Chains A and B, each alone.
Chain A
Amino acid sequence: MQGSAIDSQAVVNYQAEVGHGHHGHPDYRVLGVIVFLIAEAMIFLGLFTAYLTFRAVAPTWPPEGTPELELLLPGVNTIILIGSSFVIHNADVAVKKNDVKGLQKWFGITAAMGAVFLVGQLYEYFHLEFGLKTNLFASTFYVLTGFHGLHVLFGLVLILGVLWRSLKPGHYSSSNHFGVEAAEIYWHFVDVVWIVLFILLYLLK
């Protein structure tokens, strides 16, 4: 009944290959990272939906007496983070040309930009006029940005880890650079989440 479902061409190709007797399998780690990021995206989606529901249910949003958010610092921070996504892509291009020096340069710049973002975020936290428990908006603000900040921090650790490993000659090459790709994909993900977060928390009135 399902006989027709067997891919006979693959069997023929396979039979031709059997003689080589290789026991490994191709590297699926990049796919694994992407699948894992779907789960990560769902956490943020859940938190965003909760935020939007709180907002929709509340009689006034943000609740009365919530101080206005400054846009200048987070705006600059947003530009830095979005810019870093373009910067880190250069590292990927570099490593694919076997240019480890280029990889180190671009990862170094990305790490610096990520660190500036985190410092900016902390600066904002210390200068805001509301605290974690001031009201529902303040709580969601801190939890959402804080949870995202933790992801930026983790991305930064990934990038520094790749930089550390790249010091060993020959660790990354045009054919073997999973760490570079994983860090880059993760960084783009953190970036996209920030864009949504920025729109939800700062721009949506």
Chain B
Amino acid sequence: MTQTLQEEATNTPAHGATEGKREWLKYISFSTDHKVIGIQYLVTSFIFYLVGGFLATLVRTELATPQSDFVSPDLYNGLFTVHATVMIFLWIVPAATGAFGNYLIPLLIGARDMAFPKLNAVAFWMIPPGGILLMSSFFFGAPGSGWTSYPPLSLVYNKVGEAIWILSVLILGTSSILGAVNFIVTILKMRAPGMVLNSMPLFCWAMLAASCLILLGTPVLAGALILLGFDLIVGTAFFNPTGGGDPVVYQHMFWFYSHPAVYIMILPVFGLISEILPVHSRKPIFGYKAIAYSSFAISFLGLIVWAHHMFTSGTPPWLRMFFMINTMIIAVPTGIKVFSWLATIWGGKLRLNSAMLFAMGFISMFVIGGISGVMVAAVPFDIHVHDTYFIVAHLHYVLFGGSVFGLYAGIYHWFPKMSGRMMNETLGRVHFILTLVGFNLCFLPMHKLGLEGMNRRIAEYDPKFATLNLVCSIGAYLLAVSTFPFIFNALWSIFKGEKAPSNPWGGLTFEWQTTSPPPHENFAIDPMLLIAPYEYGTEKAKEIIQAGPFLATAAATEA
């Protein structure tokens, strides 16, 4: 009892009551506090996730029957194009890098803030206008050539929407690059004394690898979009074969970013999982260096596999071999991570709370997506399933089963730290079960549909696919319903949830050594590394966890 009281006292914000009343205003202001920016990213991207999910529900409603009867085929094209663009550029990328990267990195490395706080705020405030701009395209004829926007189709179809799409992606890409600059400098230069690269938490390694990809890949996409914009608006012929241009050059430039983008979306989530599993397994992470370095192996290989999206675009056979082999090799560093995670939870004292359930769900679902990924890497198989629902199934197992499950795990794990309140466990488990069932119901049958030849991006299909499509649509509705317990849980917990102690999970990384939520500038005293991040189960770890949050306790004494 006494201990709870003490902890509640340390959790009270240090400033006066009048300031507290206007506290929420900082979340809609140009704040330079990395924690505020992280939460701004998280809330904004989650709102766009709901928008993208709504679009997906419309798509699945159309596909519930073989006829095109719910929306016009033209609008259908706009729905799936904007759905994909929103989910990639406005949900997973800003949530995985922007939200968790900004919130966690300074805390994990023991810094007071990011290296360039103002730049950080600028990067965030490019997201809402970029997103609203994209949404506005529905009023002018939404872009309908798919999120890949391949010319020549994108040059002749819904041109105004296409121009808006290009501008919006350029804005979001710039935001992403500015964020990456910040992450790289912060991680390399602002670690607490005693923390060398090999003793920083694994999320930092993952973010460093992902930031390098953003830095190297996104500008090339920008280059491609500038040229595409000239073709579209001015009428040049860079990618227009009728004027001597070459549409395949666009595909190369596009995928030079957009394949690494897959790793930009999954590497930070790998990092989150590497943080969550040891805490809830009460065991040191298995293979710290293997997990850390494999992030960079994935980054490097990720830059030289892009043409596997173009096996049917007239890519010469010798080049297809090169990209096929590289793609398959990526399974090795990814497998190293998966086996290290399994070895981490093996024999641990598992706590099956919502965060851990989503983390374990992540591993199982991601592995399915990973295996179908190796399948589509094989040229002959890819030629068979190219542009079919097999690809749709594969990418959703990676991006939803992987990234989104991991993001949910992250939200459940760090919600107490971000808000100072615990989330409801029962609702969390209901959310997990609904998500897992809905997800598999929606996407597992798509493998079969794709193998049997159902094409993606088409509103009408052969009636023989009707039954499985109806199952997929029911799964999609279940998935839509599954977000309600989560939203209710999060909103209710922010206001009425049980007060969170500083270290609810018994974690060893720096963020658990300060108050929940952490004070302005994070730590009362400059932190230094007493113990490597994952030494769970050792005597020293027990001492540190029992002694309580040392970086916050000192704050109380100082005050």
Q: With contacts A6-B199, A42-B219 known, is A1 near B535, CB below 8 A? A: yes
Q: How many residues of chain B are within 8 Å of chain A by beta carbon?
A: 58
Distance (Å) between the CB of A65 and the closest chain B CB? 12
Contact status B193-A14, CB under 8 Å: yes
The one of B177, B182, B220, B234 in contact with A132, judged by C-beta atoms closer than 8 angstroms, is B234
Contact status B528-A14, CB under 8 Å: yes
Contact status B220-A32, CB under 8 Å: no
Q: Roughly how many angstroms separate A50 CA and B222 CA in the complex, as a whole number?
A: 13
Closest residue of chain A to B112, judged by CB? Answer: A23
Contact status A11-B215, CB under 8 Å: no
Q: Roughly how many angstroms separate A147 CA and B219 CA in the complex, as a whole number?
A: 13
Q: With contacts A42-B220, A43-B219 known, is A53 near B194, CB below 8 A? A: no
Contact status A143-B185, CB under 8 Å: no
Q: Roughly how many angstroms separate A23 CA and B115 CA in the complex, as a whole number?
A: 13
Contacts of A54 in B (CB 8 A): 238, 245-246, 249
Distance (Å) between the CB of A64 and the closest chain B CB? 11
Chain-A contact segment, one of B7-15, B124-132, B224-232, B449-457: B224-232
Distance (Å) between the CB of A191 and the closest chain B CB? 19
Which parts of B176-203 form the interface with A (CB within 8 Å)? 177-178, 180-182, 184-185, 188-190, 193-196, 198-199
Q: With contacts A6-B532, A11-B529, A50-B249 known, is A133 near B199, CB below 8 A? A: no
Per-position contact with A for B81-125: 1 when CB-CB < 8 Å, else 0? 000000000000000000000000000000110011001000000
Contacts of B252 in A (CB 8 A): 53
Distance (Å) between the CB of B177 and the closest chain A CB? 5
Which parts of A28-58 form the interface with B (CB within 8 Å)? 28-29, 31-32, 35-36, 38-47, 49-50, 53-54, 57-58
Q: How many residues of chain A are within 8 Å of chain B by beta carbon?
A: 47
Q: With contacts A11-B529, A133-B234 known, is A31 near B189, CB below 8 A? A: yes
Contact status A6-B220, CB under 8 Å: no
Closest residue of chain A to B521, judged by CB? Answer: A23
Contact status B249-A2, CB under 8 Å: no
Q: Roughly how many angstroms separate A53 CA and B252 CA in the complex, as a whole number?
A: 10
The one of A2, A29, A38, A132 in contact with B215, judged by C-beta atoms closer than 8 angstroms, is A38
Contact status A53-B223, CB under 8 Å: no
Distance (Å) between the CB of A30 and the closest chain B CB? 10
Per-position contact with A for B376-400: 1 when CB-CB < 8 Å, else 0? 0000000000000000000000000
Per-position contact with A for B35-75: 1 when CB-CB < 8 Å, else 0? 00000000000000000000000000000000000000000
B31: Cβ under 8 A from any A Cβ: no
A169: Cβ under 8 A from any B Cβ: no
Contact status B189-A28, CB under 8 Å: yes
Per-position contact with A for B257-296: 1 when CB-CB < 8 Å, else 0? 0000000000000000000000000001000100000000
Contact status B535-A139, CB under 8 Å: no
A203: Cβ under 8 A from any B Cβ: no
Q: With contacts A3-B531, A11-B529, A50-B227 known, is A35 near B215, CB below 8 A? A: yes
B489: Cβ under 8 A from any A Cβ: no
Q: With contacts A23-B521, A38-B216 known, is A53 near B244, CB below 8 A? A: no
Contact status B115-A46, CB under 8 Å: no
A72: Cβ under 8 A from any B Cβ: no
B552: Cβ under 8 A from any A Cβ: no
Q: With contacts A28-B185, A28-B189 known, is A143 near B226, CB below 8 A? A: yes
Contacts of B288 in A (CB 8 A): 1-2
B462: Cβ under 8 A from any A Cβ: no
Q: Roughly how many angstroms separate A49 CA and B249 CA in the complex, as a whole number?
A: 9
Contact status A50-B223, CB under 8 Å: yes
Contact status A11-B196, CB under 8 Å: no
The one of A3, A39, A63, A133 in contact with B236, judged by C-beta atoms closer than 8 angstroms, is A133
Contacts of A11 in B (CB 8 A): 193-194, 528-529
Contact status A47-B246, CB under 8 Å: no
Contact status B196-A7, CB under 8 Å: yes
Contacts of B256 in A (CB 8 A): 46
Contacts of B217 in A (CB 8 A): 42
Distance (Å) between the CB of B557 and the closest chain A CB? 15
B80: Cβ under 8 A from any A Cβ: no
A7, A38, A63, A139 — most chain B CB neighbours (10 Å): A139
Which parts of B331-355 form the interface with A (CB within 8 Å)? none
Contacts of B185 in A (CB 8 A): 28, 31-32, 35
Per-position contact with B for A158-197: 1 when CB-CB < 8 Å, else 0? 0000000000000000000000000000000000000000
Contact status A32-B116, CB under 8 Å: yes
Contact status A45-B244, CB under 8 Å: no
Contacts of B535 in A (CB 8 A): 1-3
Contacts of A44 in B (CB 8 A): 223
Contact status B220-A43, CB under 8 Å: yes
A199: Cβ under 8 A from any B Cβ: no
B137: Cβ under 8 A from any A Cβ: no
The one of A5, A10, A39, A53 in contact with B193, judged by C-beta atoms closer than 8 angstroms, is A10
Closest residue of chain B to A143, judged by CB? Answer: B230
Per-position contact with A for B149-185: 1 when CB-CB < 8 Å, else 0? 0000000000000000000000000000110111011
**Could you write out 14 A-B pairs with CB less than 8 Å apart?**
A14-B194, A23-B112, A28-B115, A28-B185, A35-B215, A36-B177, A46-B222, A50-B224, A50-B249, A133-B235, A133-B236, A133-B237, A136-B238, A140-B238
* A interface residues with partner B (beta carbon < 8 Å): 1-3, 5-8, 10-11, 13-15, 18, 23, 25-26, 28-29, 31-32, 35-36, 38-47, 49-50, 53-54, 57-58, 63, 132-133, 135-136, 139-140, 143, 147
Apart from A28-B115, A41-B219, A54-B238, list 19 A-B contacts with CB within 8 A. Answer: A7-B193, A10-B196, A18-B525, A25-B189, A29-B116, A32-B115, A32-B116, A32-B185, A35-B185, A38-B216, A39-B177, A39-B216, A42-B220, A45-B219, A50-B223, A50-B227, A63-B244, A133-B237, A135-B237
3 interchain residue pairs of minimum CB distance: A14-B193, A2-B532, A46-B223
